[in-house]
A and B are shown apart, each in its own frame.
Chain A
Amino acid sequence: MAGKTKTAFKAKPRDPALDHIIKLAVMAVGGQGGGVLTNWIEDTAHRNGYAVQATSVAGVAQRTGATIYYIEMAPAGDRPPVFSLMPAAGDVDILIAAEMMEAGRAIMRGFVTPDRTTLIASSHRALAVSEKMTPGDGIADSDEVIAAAEIAAQRFILFDMDKMAIEVGSVISSSLFGALAGSGALPFERETFEDAIKASGRGVKASLRAFAAGYDAASNGVVETPSEARTEPGPTGDAPQGPDKLLNQWRGLDARAAAMPEPVRDMALTGLRAVVDFQDLDYGGEYLDRLERILADDEAAKDYAYSREAAKYIAKAMAYDDVFRVADLKTRGSRFARIRTEINPADGTRMKLTEFMHPRAEEIVGMMPASLGRKLSNSEGSMRMIDRLFNRGRRLRTDRFFPFAQLYVIGGLRKYRRGTLRHAIEVEHMQNWLDLAATYRRIDYALGVETLRNRRLVKGYSDTHARGLSKFDQVMDGVALLAGREDAAHWCNLLREAALADEKGEQLEGALKTVRSFADGSAAAAHN
Chain B
Amino acid sequence: MAERSFAKEVQKLKIGEGETFSGEGILALTKALLEAGVGYVGGYQGAPISHLMDVLADAEEILSELGVRYEANASEAAAAAMLAASVHYPIRGAVTFKGAVGVNVASDALANLSSSGVTGGALVIIGEDYGEGSSIMQERSHAFAMKSQMWLLDPRPNLPSIVQSVHQGFELSEATNTPVMLMVRIRSCHVTGSFIARANKRPPFTVKDALANPRSDYARVVLPPMSYLQEHDKIDNRWPAAQAHIREHGLNEFFGPQDAPIGIVMQGGMYNGVIRALQRLGLADIHGETEIPLYVLNVTYPLVNDEFLEFCEGKSSVLVVEEGQPEFIEQALGSMLFRAGSDIKLHGKDMLPMAGEYTGQVMLDGLEAFLKKAAPGLLPARLRAPNSEEKPALPDLSGTVPIRPPGFCTGCPERPIFAAIKLTEMERGKHQIAGDIGCHLFATLPPFEIGGSTMGYGLGPASNAAFDGGGEKRSISILGDGGFWHNGLSSSIGNAVYNKSDGVIVIVDNFYSAATGGQDILSSRADNPSKATGHPIADAVKGVGVKWVRQIDRTYDVPKMREILNEALTTDHEGPKVIVASSECMLNKQRREKPLMNKAIAEGRRVEKPRFGVDEDICTGDHACIRLSGCPSLSLKKLDDPLRDDPVASIDQSCVGCGNCGEVADAAVLCPSFYRTEVVHNPGWIERKLDHARNRVITWLQTRRSRGRIEFVRG
Contacts and interface: CB of A to CB of B under 8 A. Distances in A.
A187 interface: no
A62 B3 contact: yes
Q: Give the residue among B48, B376, B672 with the most A Cβ atoms within 10 A.
A: B672
Q: List the 7 closest A-B pairs by CB distance, nearest first.
A: A88-B360, A57-B133, A65-B406, A393-B666, A15-B285, A333-B702, A63-B406
Interface in A336-389: 336, 339, 342-343, 345-346, 348-358, 360
Interface string B397-413: 11011111111111000
B283 A343 contact: no
B589 interface: no
Given A151-B394, A349-B679, A137 B672 contact: no
B220 interface: no
A116 to B, nearest CB: 12
Nearest to A325: B618
A104 B399 CA distance: 11
Contacts of B446: 129-130, 133
B248 to A, nearest CB: 27
A23 to B, nearest CB: 10
A250 B48 contact: no
A1 B316 CA distance: 6
25 contacts: A2-B316, A2-B374, A5-B316, A7-B257, A9-B260, A14-B282, A63-B407, A65-B404, A107-B397, A130-B446, A133-B626, A140-B402, A147-B395, A148-B397, A151-B392, A240-B710, A240-B711, A241-B711, A312-B642, A312-B643, A339-B613, A349-B680, A352-B680, A398-B675, A408-B705
B678 A352 contact: yes
A270 interface: yes
A88 B447 contact: no
Q: Give the residue among A67, A355, A356, A401 with the most B Cβ atoms within 10 A.
A: A356
Given A82-B279, A108-B398, 20 more contacts: A4-B261, A11-B283, A12-B291, A14-B380, A59-B133, A64-B406, A65-B407, A129-B446, A132-B626, A133-B627, A133-B630, A136-B645, A140-B400, A239-B715, A246-B709, A273-B712, A329-B618, A330-B615, A332-B705, A333-B703
B424 interface: no
A58 B47 contact: yes
Interface in B247-285: 257, 259-261, 271-273, 275-276, 279-280, 282-285
Contacts of A331: 701-702, 705
A263 to B, nearest CB: 13
Given A132-B623, A238-B713, A88 B186 contact: no
B681 A271 contact: no
B288 A82 contact: yes
B646 interface: yes
A510 B278 CA distance: 53
B394 A87 contact: no
Interface stretch (A174-182, A276-284, A482-490): A276-284
A492 B315 CA distance: 70
Interface stretch (A218-226, A289-297, A457-465, A512-520): A457-465
Interface in B674-715: 674-683, 687-688, 691, 694-695, 697-699, 701-703, 705-715
A139 B639 CA distance: 13
Given A132-B635, A354-B675, A11 B401 contact: no
B135 A399 contact: no
Contacts of A353: 675-677
A151 B395 CA distance: 9
A419 interface: no
Q: What band does the interface of chain B fall in when counting residues whose beta carbon is under 8 Å from A?
A: 35 or more
Contacts of A83: 272, 276
B593 interface: no
Interface stretch (A48-56, A426-434, A439-447): A48-56
Interface stretch (B190-198, B203-211, B480-488): B190-198
A462 B375 contact: no
Nearest to B194: A80
A55 B187 contact: yes
Contacts of B392: 114, 151-152
A329 B643 contact: no
A287 to B, nearest CB: 12
Given A82-B286, A330-B615, A336-B702, A271 B643 contact: yes
B133 A266 contact: no
A126 B635 CA distance: 8
Contacts of B665: 356, 358
B447 A129 contact: yes
Interface in B358-378: 359-361, 363-364, 374-378
A315 interface: yes
Q: Dominant SS at the B interface?
A: loop
Contacts of B680: 349-352
B594 interface: no
B395 A144 contact: yes
Interface string A102-130: 10110110100010000000000011111
Q: What band does the interface of chain A fall in when counting residues whose beta carbon is under 8 Å from B?
A: 35 or more
B587 A74 contact: no
B635 A321 contact: no
Nearest to B617: A329
A527 interface: no
A505 interface: no
B447 A133 contact: yes
Nearest to A72: B276
B710 A250 contact: yes
Contact of B276 (A80, A88, A128, A133): A88
B44 to A, nearest CB: 16
B240 to A, nearest CB: 32
Contacts of A81: 286-288
A81 B286 CA distance: 5
B326 interface: no
B669 A463 contact: yes
A326 B714 contact: no
Given A88-B361, A356-B672, A59 B713 contact: no
Contacts of A30: 406
A84 B710 contact: no
B446 to A, nearest CB: 6
B356 interface: no
A60 interface: yes
A68 interface: yes
Given A30-B406, A42-B192, A351-B679, A9 B186 contact: no
Given A59-B133, A127-B635, A250-B710, A346 B622 contact: no
Contact of B400 (A63, A64, A104, A463): A104
Contacts of B186: 57, 59
Contacts of B622: 135, 459-460, 464, 468
A321 B619 CA distance: 9
A241 to B, nearest CB: 5
A462 to B, nearest CB: 4
A102 B643 CA distance: 31
Nearest to A65: B406
B377 to A, nearest CB: 6
A464 B671 contact: yes
B409 A31 contact: yes
Nearest to A233: B642
Contacts of A494: none
A7 B678 contact: no
Nearest to A409: B701
B133 A60 contact: yes
Contacts of A144: 395, 397, 400
A136 B644 CA distance: 11
Nearest to A108: B397
Contacts of B223: none
Contacts of B363: 88
Q: Give the residue among A14, A29, A64 with the most B Cβ atoms within 10 A.
A: A64
Interface string A402-446: 001100100110000000000000000000000000000000000
Nearest to A143: B400
Contacts of B261: 1-2, 4-6, 9
